[in-house]
Amino acid sequence: MAAANDRLLSTFVKSFKDTDSSYGGYDYTFVDGDPPSSYICLICTLVSRDPHQVSCCYNIYCKSCLDKHRKKSSRNGRFSCPACRKLLDLRSYFKDGRMEREIKGLKVRCTIEECDWKGTISDIEAHVVACPYRMVDCSLGCGEKIDRREMEAHLKDCPKRIVSCQYCKDEGPHDIITSDAHLDECYSYPVECCHEGCEEIKARCLLEYHEQSCPKAVVFCEYSHLGCDKVLKREEQEKHNEESVKEHLQMAIKRVDSLQMKSIGNSSSQVFKMTNPSSYKYNDQVWYSPSFYTSPGGYKMMLCVYANGYGKGKGTHLSCYTVLVPGEYDDELGWPFQGEVTVELLNQHEDKNHKKLVIKYDQSTPEDCKKRVTKNKVSDKWGEDQFFAHSDFQLILHANYGFLGRWYFRVSAKVTSKTKPWLVL
């Protein structure tokens, strides 16, 4: 009968271990050899953890082992003892405090083979947490398992260590700060000028400003708005001007004649030059044109340009507006101002493909944009937040595209508001 029970117990233990590993006793190497058999749990065959004694045969089991067995084999709240097969219930086993005190006093070795620590079971869990030979997760979260003794050395080279970019001084994890993704965006990263023959290397944030004055840059003649179609390096401009004085003068005379022909009746046409637009964009500044009249004896206005955008166009578009300013003939004019102003960003290379904006002053225009203004003031601006997308300027590096370098704006005004004829001399 005893032999049969032993066979049943052996089969039970094997089955129990094969199905679940979340139970069990202390699996340590004991300093003084194998502990007494009375300490052994008959289910997991290890030294009992939280030992509980059954009332039938007085054997010792780990509480977790006995609870697991009870949950798996209980019927109507009763289950059989793994050793003697007697029926048990929750009242049939209890914690053996004396046995637990003896077991926790057993001396064991550290679970890590390289460590020579020895101590009692009651102390080993605290030791394992602090054991210098223990493999632990990197404290910076790089995902590596590190021998605690090597942690300090690892942290010095860990890809997640915090470093500063050598160019912009921004801080972040080493693997990000040194990555192409960061360096491709770093505003202080040194970049070589793209113009052939120029060996200048500038911080990325200064490169655009440099390119606007780079002597090796290919540009249109500064008189291209008059009709000169010469394309040359910026450093050759002065020599070209000296050699082409006569031609440039003739072009200027033709342009003046053309403007005079246009400045008749209740309309006029003006051309304004905005130098260094990239500087206005980089510094997020507004540019105002010289003031002009809509026609002889007409309303006085200015063109207002935000190279880096304003309102809905901030950071993505060129924004363009007009504003009314105090003029010499304001007493003779009808208010509020009514009409339309056409603004064209001129293609310097050819007389077509200009970027055109029509600004209408009518009943839908806010009153503060079209009313008469007093001395030293201007009206509210009226125009378009998203006149020209920055992305469209990507073509300016091609010599056949006419928006390179300076910007030229042609402004034409057509007035429909009435004058006061009894005041006009």
Q: Which of 108-117, 326-335, 395-404 has the lowest mean pLDDT?
A: 395-404
Residue 397 banded pLDDT, cuts 50, 70, 90: very low
The whole-number pLDDT of residue 259 equals 52
Neighbours of 408 (CB within 10 A): 19
**E strands within 234-296?**
267-274, 286-288, 292-293
- Distance CA(390)–CA(386), nearest Å, equals 10
Q: What is the pLDDT of residues 24-45, one digit of tens each?
A: 899 898 998 889 989 999 889 9
The residues, ordered by sequence, that sit 6+ positions from 169 with a Cβ below 8 Å of its Cβ are 188
Indicate whether 370 pLDDT > 90: yes
Strand partners, 79: 88
Residue 320 banded pLDDT, cuts 50, 70, 90: very high
- Distance CA(75)–CA(55), nearest Å, equals 19
The residue among 258, 262, 289, 257 whose CA lies nearest residue 273 is 289
For residue 408, the number of C-alpha atoms closer than 13 Å in the C-beta half-sphere is: 21
The whole-number pLDDT of residue 105 equals 92
Q: % helix / strand / coil in the chain, to the nearest 5?
A: 30, 25, 40
Neighbours of 37 (CB within 10 A): 8
Query: Before 35, cis peptide (omega within 30)?
Result: no
Indicate whether 21 pLDDT > 80: no
* Mean pLDDT of all residues belonging to the chain: 83
Q: What is the pLDDT of residues 83-139, one digit of tens each?
A: 888 888 878 888 999 999 999 999 999 988 888 899 999 998 888 888 888 888 888
- Long-range contacts of range 186-190, CB-CB < 8 Å, 24 or more positions apart? none
Cα 267 to chain centroid, rounded: 49
Indicate whether 367 pLDDT > 50: yes
Whether 253 contacts 225, CB under 8 Å = no
Strand partners, 9: none
Whether 174 contacts 165, CB under 8 Å = no
Q: Which of 102-116, 250-264, 343-357 has the lowest mean pLDDT?
A: 250-264
3-state secondary structure 285-348: CEEECCCEECCCCCCEEEEEEECCCCHHHCCCEEEEEEEECCCCCHHHECCCCCEEEEEEECCC
**Angle ∠(283,407,382) on CA atoms, nearest 5:** 75
Whether 171 contacts 188, CB under 8 Å = no
The whole-number pLDDT of residue 411 equals 95
The DSSP-derived string for 107-122 is EEE-SSTT---EEEHH
Domains of the chain: 2-109 (3.30.40.10), 134-186 (3.30.40.10), 189-262 (3.30.40), 264-423 (2.60.210.10)
Indicate whether 202 pLDDT > 70: yes
Whether 40 contacts 59, CB under 8 Å = no
200 vs 423 pLDDT, higher one: 200
- Distance CA(214)–CA(404), nearest Å, equals 13
